Structure 1
C-alpha cells in the first residue's frame, strides 16, 4: 500500500456542541469553526496520548511487570496565525471557552465532513492566550493551551 502524505490532509474544527463524541453528526461539525487554514504548519500540538505504567511486580518477582494505567495528554495547544481585522478564532478561543476540538486526517482538508469519515474528538477547555514572541520573517502568532476535560474519542466516525 502507498504511504499517505500529510500535507493538506488535516481538517481541524472547534465545535461548540457534540451530543455523542463517538459519532458526531455533519450538522454538529458544520456548526463548528474551521481552524486548519489559520493554524501554523506545526500548530496542532500535544495530541499524542501518554499511557502511564502500573507496576504489577510483587516482592518475590525477578522481572518487573506492568499493565496500562491512566492515559493523559500534556502540552496540548493550538498555534495560530493572527488575522487582521475581525479575528473570529482569536475572539472565540478565550480562557475558559468550552467545546470540542475535532481532527480529521488523511483526507483533503477542503473536503466537506461526510458520514463514515474517521475523526478524533477532544472535549476541551481553552487556557489563556499566549502571544508568540516576534521574530524575523514570520507572521504574528499566538498559542491557545487546551485542557482535555474528559476522555476523547480517538476513533470516532461521523454519523
Structure 2
C-alpha cells in the first residue's frame, strides 16, 4: 500500500522526519517527496530518515508492498506456522498438512481476490490429497462462531 503525508510547514523549514520501516516490509520499499524518489535505504526493521528544507504542502509518499510469509509458532516447532500477508495474519478454511517451500510461499500460494485478500494454495500442496487446495483469508474478517485454522503444519522432509 501507498501512504501519503502532506507537510504542513512554513516554506523553508528545516527538520528531520523519520519513518519506521516494519520488519515485514521485505519488498521494494520506496519513499518519494513530491513524486521524486529520495533514494533512501528503506530496509526492513530500520528507520528511514528524511532531512531537508521543507516547503509548504510538500507531499511524502511511502510504498511498502505486502508479501506472503510463514511465521513459525516457536523455535521448537518450526513445522507449525501461520501465514501472514505483510502485517496481516491469514487463517485457513480447513485443518491442513501442507507440502511446500515455507521460505517462498508466493511460488505456490496465489491471491484469488485482492479486495478480500483471499489466497489459495495450488493443487498438490495439501497432504495426502494432491487435488485439494486451501483458502486463506484475514483473521479479522472471520465471523464469530465460524471455524478457522490459524496455524498449519508442514510435512517433515
Larger gyration radius, structure 1 or structure 2: 2
Give the TM-score range, shorter chain.
under 0.3
Task: Report which structure shows greater RCO (CA 8 Å, sep ≥6).
Answer: 1
